[in-house]
Chain A
């Protein structure tokens, strides 16, 4: 469903070239949970940006549901991210003047009562049913990240990209967050691509891929 062929991404800084992603071939099947691990600087985030259309590859191509990103203009990729993908980052990036529920609704594509009800349902599912109206600064770090997860899921994305979603959390809290994501996959709503440098977080994954110096190998 989501695949990369001979993907490469070079960063040019001054005279030197960094091969952040180097000849990567990868397929994410529908409804699968793919884990990406590797040391810091190995190119995990870069690969994720290529797969989600946040960056264009130096070489190679990405296709999603049969469409090559090369044939999609910037606006189209933007809509793709907005409508079909969900994102969780290391930091929560909640908007501090909005409530938990409102922050979730930022991720919604259409805003109506059903969607709002689903947003509340998601927050309830992540254990924040009684904190819908709380502002981010009134929540713990783990709670904030859980709101961020709900925001990434509220529009039923086909693929959820999570880049180090647990890096700022302690082990137990991190586990909860991963479980929430895994639960989404388990309900058959979409695929999951989780980037982490902690293998313990990927116990539920169908496939765990290892990245090293921009190259991919099975773990």
Chain B
């Protein structure tokens, strides 16, 4: 015969009172496990998405895309007008053409005497040729720059329209107004959006003609200098006055245009030097030029940009080796091909596989332009995405601006390399992205959710402590006779308190175990059916979450319940219970 006051007796004989309490508590604990794990999952997924930064430092131009495009274009247009003006002057009276005419008019006798004169003639002819070509180049270039600018302002107007419509979807007036205003413009501009590529051809052609003209002008001034020194011996030589002032003026304007046009198609100035200097920082494993881009991916806490590395072929292999990743299916992207290799999780997240397409044509939030074909699936500890540097820089005029460099420090030298790089960059147009920066960004994002979550847990804990505490008290009141009798016949007060402590402890412990167990079951199911297929990350057995974060609920409920019941038990007067007449 066991103790009739044993815990088991109590639980089994009071199932209908004990089980609902266990159920409520277990469900609350299950809730905490699930929300907490999802939060941890969001953080882990974010860490994994940017995990590649743990071993490298990205240095990228500071400027945004809008500024990148607008300023060089605006500037170039101004320079273009100036050059057009100067070309007219150069070609006009007292300019290059009249000089050329004067030079060719010099008699054959003199020319035969002075071979330098023939060279001057040839160079002047060349200069005239390049000047004429440049004039021709400048016309479509100007036209194109204007169109691109219009396209940009159109994009802004369109964005505004979208915002207006999103705020008030039932009001068609903004749409009508927009269409009326922009109808003709759209008709002229929209088909030319493809001409972004032609702009590059025009810029290239104008640059090379400008260079030719510059060379010819330099040759001419050399020739004139030679002639002048030789001419002193031939006193009566009718050398026409050189239009050097006009030429100098033109050169200045041309230099400005060249620099301005160059800035459109060239990477951020200073990149070459930065690449070279970074390689000399002690503790650097390797440095790579990087035409970076990104993909839009869905994470638990919202959208995020998964960064792609635009490397050359050796660089791709180096990066894989750095992380211990490997190409599990397919191959790495070929040079100068619009191909991409990505980690398996990212492929799952975007629901693509070998042969699938990624890029701005597929998802408007991708920065990766057009559509790239997935040719490789990468497997390994770190998630990465690789695209070819040359394809990015040679096929997209504006992607050239998104060139930076990746510096990989040797282990143990991370901080030193970081500091040296920071010093190297100074306050130039570059900025530095490393793991501590990225991690801080992620943490601050998650921190908000964390606060909400903690508040919820606190709320649930308090409400539960009150509700279960109240139930506990109600139940306890029903058992007053039991405790009154036991105290009267000589059961010790502390023994009785200990008994309800054990009873409560058993209930809270059971609900804790059941809640955590249920939590693990639900999370496992969710992990298999959602998290993994979407390329997200979740730790089902996060003991920190399972044990520590869920502890406040049973603890609070227990302490609150015990506090009130214990207090009543301590003050319990058995005689008043015995004398009570019901």
What is A's interface to B at a CB cutoff of 8 Å?
A: 45, 49, 54-55, 75, 78-83, 85-87, 89, 91, 93, 95, 97-98, 101-103, 105-107, 111-113, 115-116, 119, 163
Residue B67 is within 8 A (CB to CB) of chain A in the complex: no
Given known contacts A93-B481, A98-B13, A102-B9, is B4 in contact with A54 (CB within 8 Å)? no
A2 CA to B482 CA, complexed, in Å? 28
Residue B578 is within 8 A (CB to CB) of chain A in the complex: yes
Q: List 29 A-B contacts (CB under 8 A).
A: A49-B575, A54-B574, A54-B575, A75-B492, A82-B490, A83-B490, A85-B489, A86-B489, A89-B488, A91-B582, A93-B481, A93-B578, A95-B4, A95-B485, A97-B9, A97-B13, A97-B14, A98-B4, A98-B13, A102-B9, A105-B1, A105-B4, A106-B5, A111-B2, A111-B3, A112-B1, A116-B1, A119-B1, A163-B578
A111 CA to B482 CA, complexed, in Å? 19
**Pair A115/B489 contact, Cβ less than 8 Å:** no
**Pair A55/B575 contact, Cβ less than 8 Å:** yes
A112 CA to B2 CA, complexed, in Å? 8
Interface contacts beyond A93-B484, A111-B2: sample of 8 additional A-B pairs, CB < 8 Å, sorted by A: A49-B575, A78-B490, A78-B491, A78-B492, A93-B485, A98-B9, A103-B4, A105-B3
A162 CA to B486 CA, complexed, in Å? 16
A182 smallest CB distance to B (angstroms): 21
A105 CA to B4 CA, complexed, in Å? 7
A45 CA to B578 CA, complexed, in Å? 10
Chain B residues positioned under 8 Å from A85 (CB to CB) = 489-490
Chain B residues positioned under 8 Å from A116 (CB to CB) = 1
Partner of A102, one of B4, B14, B574: B4
Residue B10 is within 8 A (CB to CB) of chain A in the complex: yes
Contact with A along B544-582 (1 / 0, CB 8 A): 000000000000000000000000000000110011001
Partner of A113, one of B1, B489, B492, B579: B1
Chain B residues positioned under 8 Å from A111 (CB to CB) = 1-3
B7 smallest CB distance to A (angstroms): 13
A11 smallest CB distance to B (angstroms): 11
Chain B residues positioned under 8 Å from A103 (CB to CB) = 4
A107 CA to B579 CA, complexed, in Å? 20
Which 3 pairs of residues, A with B, have the shortest CB-CB distance? A82-B490, A116-B1, A81-B490
Chain B residues positioned under 8 Å from A49 (CB to CB) = 575
Closest to B15 in A: A97
**Pair B486/A115 contact, Cβ less than 8 Å:** no
A163 CA to B485 CA, complexed, in Å? 13
A91 CA to B1 CA, complexed, in Å? 26
A49 CA to B5 CA, complexed, in Å? 25
- From A54, A55, A79, A105, name the one whose CB has the most chain B CB atoms within 10 angstroms: A54
Which residues in window 443-491 of B have CB below 8 A to A?
Answer: 481-482, 484-486, 488-491
Chain B residues positioned under 8 Å from A163 (CB to CB) = 578
**Pair B490/A79 contact, Cβ less than 8 Å:** yes
> A-B contact count, CB below 8 Å?
65
Chain B residues positioned under 8 Å from A55 (CB to CB) = 575
A66 smallest CB distance to B (angstroms): 20
**Pair B490/A97 contact, Cβ less than 8 Å:** no
Q: Which applies to chain A's interface (DSSP): helix, strand, loop or mixed?
A: helix
**Pair A80/B490 contact, Cβ less than 8 Å:** yes
B4 smallest CB distance to A (angstroms): 4
Which residues in window 399-428 of B have CB below 8 A to A?
Answer: none
A186 CA to B3 CA, complexed, in Å? 30
Chain B residues positioned under 8 Å from A106 (CB to CB) = 4-5, 486
Chain B residues positioned under 8 Å from A89 (CB to CB) = 485, 488, 578
A132 CA to B357 CA, complexed, in Å? 80
A74 CA to B424 CA, complexed, in Å? 82
Chain B residues positioned under 8 Å from A105 (CB to CB) = 1, 3-4
A181 CA to B481 CA, complexed, in Å? 23
A115 CA to B2 CA, complexed, in Å? 11
A54 CA to B13 CA, complexed, in Å? 31
A132 CA to B23 CA, complexed, in Å? 33
Closest to A46 in B: B575
A100 smallest CB distance to B (angstroms): 11
B1 smallest CB distance to A (angstroms): 3
- From B4, B13, B481, B482, name the one whose CB has the most chain A CB atoms within 10 angstroms: B4
Chain A residues positioned under 8 Å from B14 (CB to CB) = 97
**Pair A54/B488 contact, Cβ less than 8 Å:** yes
- From B10, B482, B489, B574, name the one whose CB has the most chain A CB atoms within 10 angstroms: B489
**Pair B1/A115 contact, Cβ less than 8 Å:** yes
Chain A residues positioned under 8 Å from B10 (CB to CB) = 97
A197 smallest CB distance to B (angstroms): 14
A93 CA to B480 CA, complexed, in Å? 10
A89 CA to B579 CA, complexed, in Å? 9
Chain A residues positioned under 8 Å from B490 (CB to CB) = 78-83, 85
**Pair A87/B3 contact, Cβ less than 8 Å:** no
B570 smallest CB distance to A (angstroms): 13
- From A45, A106, A112, name the one whose CB has the most chain B CB atoms within 10 angstroms: A106
A87 CA to B578 CA, complexed, in Å? 11
Chain A residues positioned under 8 Å from B489 (CB to CB) = 81-82, 85-87, 107
Closest to A105 in B: B4
Chain A residues positioned under 8 Å from B579 (CB to CB) = 45
B484 smallest CB distance to A (angstroms): 7
**Pair B481/A82 contact, Cβ less than 8 Å:** no
B12 smallest CB distance to A (angstroms): 9
- From B485, B578, B579, name the one whose CB has the most chain A CB atoms within 10 angstroms: B485
A218 CA to B296 CA, complexed, in Å? 101
A55 CA to B579 CA, complexed, in Å? 14
Which residues in window 303-353 of B have CB below 8 A to A?
Answer: none
Chain A residues positioned under 8 Å from B484 (CB to CB) = 93
Contact with A along B269-293 (1 / 0, CB 8 A): 0000000000000000000000000
A50 smallest CB distance to B (angstroms): 11
A101 CA to B9 CA, complexed, in Å? 13
- From A93, A101, A113, name the one whose CB has the most chain B CB atoms within 10 angstroms: A93
A115 CA to B3 CA, complexed, in Å? 12
Partner of A82, one of B482, B491, B575: B491
B556 smallest CB distance to A (angstroms): 28
A91 CA to B582 CA, complexed, in Å? 10
Chain B residues positioned under 8 Å from A107 (CB to CB) = 489
Chain B residues positioned under 8 Å from A101 (CB to CB) = 1
Chain A residues positioned under 8 Å from B486 (CB to CB) = 106
Closest to B579 in A: A45
Chain B residues positioned under 8 Å from A79 (CB to CB) = 490
Chain B residues positioned under 8 Å from A45 (CB to CB) = 579
A89 CA to B489 CA, complexed, in Å? 11
Partner of A95, one of B3, B482, B488: B482
A93 CA to B487 CA, complexed, in Å? 12
Closest to A157 in B: B489
Closest to A49 in B: B575
Contact with A along B479-508 (1 / 0, CB 8 A): 001101110111110000000000000000
A181 smallest CB distance to B (angstroms): 16
